[in-house]
Amino acid sequence: MTVYKKILVLPHLVVNNANAWSSPYTAGFPSVCSFGGSVHALQRKFNQNGFSDLKIPEFGIISHKFSVRNYREGNYGNYSIIANANPLDKNGERPSFVPEIKCMMEISLLCEIQGNTDDCEAIEQAAKKLLNSNLRIASGDVITSGNPYAVTIGSDEDDEAFRRYIIRKLMPGYALIERRELMIESMKQGNDALDALLEHLTVIAKPHMNGTEIEIERSRKEDGWLIPISTGYAAISGTGRAINQRDADTPHRFAESIVTLGEFRMLHRMNGVNNLLWRCSYDTEKGIYCYNQDSDIDDDDFDII
């Protein structure tokens, strides 16, 4: 049975000085949570501007360009962070701070919209206005963007609307998808979480002779552009109160980041819109709040991620 979704496409958003700390352990492309927060903020702005019943339950991330603000001396030096200095305090000294890694990126966001979505032209005009009203993505500023457009796309893998309005209009681009199943399979074989992650990120170099020259063949366990990504948080304490918590009315809870495997995959290799949309899930008993894509994975597998 074909299921149709109304997708609001925000094409070619150029974001400056986005936060490249994707988790406490990794740096690079911003975390899925960063984009999820931006999409949620966009929904709230819609609700405050005449679209009170509009919801964005799912979103997709497509990367066109990405660069981190770093440098290195020579071709073989170590990369260093170009960090911004905090302002001087009253004593003329700079306060201590955690260095931030900034990045520049050009992305497209696919937002599934639900509610009263009949007036697509009004939604497109509102989206264009909101993109130019200090909307931030991963703590970065949206500098320029293409014209938003809304399209109805079916769930079939051979859907013509998906090929016409997503693949053809947004190529070249890489969709960020989840590869958590690789982590689960490795951990079921006895590896811990870190070993399972590194097992798929490690580059294996094998030298061999080609006549009089030495050539090095590099490979990974799995094909594809695999990366570590942060997709949410797992609670490590119960709810309660903490000293100097920001919100005095909301219960506090300590949590740690959930880091798993993701993959950048070229759009022309995607079979349908459902394969690149992220959705939020929350398990109260296990204290897990995260974004995921694969609804076929058993919830019990969260215990080993």
Secondary structure (3-state) at 106:
strand
Same-domain status, 163 and 259: no
Query: Which of 128, 159, 177 represents a domain boundary (last residue)?
Result: 177
Q: How confident is the model at residue 218 (pLDDT cuts 50, 70, 90)?
A: confident
Say whether both 140 and 213 belong to one domain: no
Residue finishing a domain among 177, 196, 211: 177
| Same structural domain, 154 and 31 | yes
The answer, yes or no, to whether residue 305 has pLDDT greater than 50, is: no
Q: Is the model's pLDDT at 274 over the cut of 50?
A: yes
Considering only residues 212 and 290, tell me which one the structure prediction assigns the higher pLDDT. Answer: 290
DSSP 19-52: E-B-SSS-BSSPPHHHHHHHHHHHHHHHHTTT-T
Q: Where is the domain boundary, 177, 204, 235?
A: 177
* Mean pLDDT confidence for 212-217: 84
Q: What is the mean pLDDT of residues 128-147?
A: 90
Q: What is the pLDDT of residue 36?
A: 94
Nearest to 29 by CA among 56, 72, 62, 59: 62
* DSSP H helices in the chain: 32-47, 120-131, 160-162, 168-170, 180-188, 193-201
Q: What is the pTM of this model?
A: 0.87
What does the pLDDT look like over 44-54, one tens digit per residue?
999 998 898 99
Whether the pLDDT of residue 303 is over 50: the answer is: no
Split at pLDDT 50, 70, 90, the class of 181 is very high
The percentage of residues in the chain with a pLDDT greater than 70, rounded to a whole number, is 93
Exposure string over 88-117, b if 16+ CB within 10 A, otherwise e: eeeeeeeeeeeebbbbbbbbbbbbbbebeb
Residue 252, both tokens: 């506090």
- pLDDT tens readout for residues 78-137: 777 776 666 777 887 776 666 678 899 999 999 999 988 888 999 999 999 999 888 899
Report the range of poorest mean pLDDT among 36-40, 71-75, 101-105, 292-296.
292-296
Q: Distance (Å, rounded) from C-alpha 22 to C-alpha 291? A: 14
Question: What's the pLDDT band for 71 if we cut at 50, 70, 90?
Answer: confident
Check residue 107 and give its pLDDT: 96
pLDDT-based confidence at 263, cuts 50/70/90? very high
Mean pLDDT of the chain: 87
- By percentage, how much of the chain surpasses pLDDT 90? 49
What is d(CA 65, CA 107) in angstroms, rounded to the nearest whole number? 7
Question: For 256-264, what is the mean pLDDT?
Answer: 93
Q: Are residues 28 and 65 in the same domain?
A: yes
Q: How far apart are CA 64 and CA 237, in angstroms?
A: 39
**102/184 same-domain check:** no
- Does 84 map to a domain? no
Residue-range definition of the domain harbouring residue 214: 179-263+283-304
3-state helix, strand, coil in the chain (%, to 5): 25, 40, 40
Of 22-36, 57-71, 282-296, minimum mean pLDDT range = 282-296
**Do residues 126 and 212 share a domain?**
no
Q: Are residues 26 and 172 in the same domain?
A: yes
